[in-house]
Amino acid sequence: MEFLSTSELTENQKAQLFELWNREYPATLNYASIQGLDDYLNGLTEATHVLILDESKSVKAWHVDFVREGEKWFAIIVDSDFHGQGLGTELLNRAKAKESELNGWVIDQDNDVKQNGDSYLSPLGFYLNNGFEQLKDKRLELQHLSAVLIRWDKH
C-alpha cells in the first residue's frame, strides 16, 4: 500500500473518492454527482489529503484535514474490505504527528443504511480507541445526519 499526501486531487482520484464515499458512508450522505463532492472539497480551507493506494493505484482509504473556524478538522473513509487492517489508525497517527488538535463529526448510532443496503456501523469506538474524546453535549442534528463531536488533543 502506498500513502500519497497531496493538496490537490486529480480527476481520477476524485472519481475514485466519489465511489468510495457513496459506497461507505450512509446513503443519506451520498452525492448524486462528482460535482457535489467537488463542491464539498472546494469548500474546505487549507485541505490536505492523504490517500492510501493499492498496487493498481486504486484508492482504498482517504483522510482529509482542513481548517474550520480556526480549528483543525478531519474526515476519513476506509474501504470496508480493508477495515481491521490498521489503515485508519495509520491515517490518524500521521495526522496526529503534524497537528496539535483534530476535530470531527461522527455518527454515533447504527441506524443508518449504506447505498448497498448494509447497515452503517458507527465508527465511534474506533476513534475512542485511538485517543479521541467524545463531547456528548456537542451534536450536529440535521435532517440527513445525526453526529457527535469528537476531539483529539496532543496536550
The predicted model scores a pTM of 0.91
Q: What does the DSSP assignment read for 106-126?
A: EE-SS--BBTTS-B----HHH
Q: Match 500519497 to its residue by C-alpha cell.
A: 4
CA distance 93 to 8: 21
- pLDDT at position 30, please? 94
Per-residue pLDDT tens, the chain, 155 aa: give them: 999 999 999 999 999 999 999 999 999 999 999 999 999 999 999 999 999 999 999 999 999 999 999 999 999 999 999 999 999 999 999 999 999 999 999 999 988 999 999 999 999 999 999 999 999 999 988 888 889 999 999 97
Phi-psi region at 22: left, alpha or beta (left = phi > 0; alpha = psi -120 to 50): alpha
* Inter-residue contact 151 to 100 (CB < 8 Å): no
Helix axes 11-24, 34-42, angle to 10 degrees: 100
CA distance 63 to 136: 24
27 burial class (0-12, 13-18, 19+ CB within 10 angstroms)?
Answer: middle
- pLDDT at position 140, please? 87
- pLDDT at position 124, please? 95
Number of independent structural domains in the chain: 1
Q: Grid coordinates representing 81? A: 474490505
**61 closest CA partner among 90, 32, 96, 27:** 90
The domain of 103 spans 2-153
- pLDDT at position 37, please? 95
What CATH code is carried by the domain that includes residue 32? 3.40.630.30
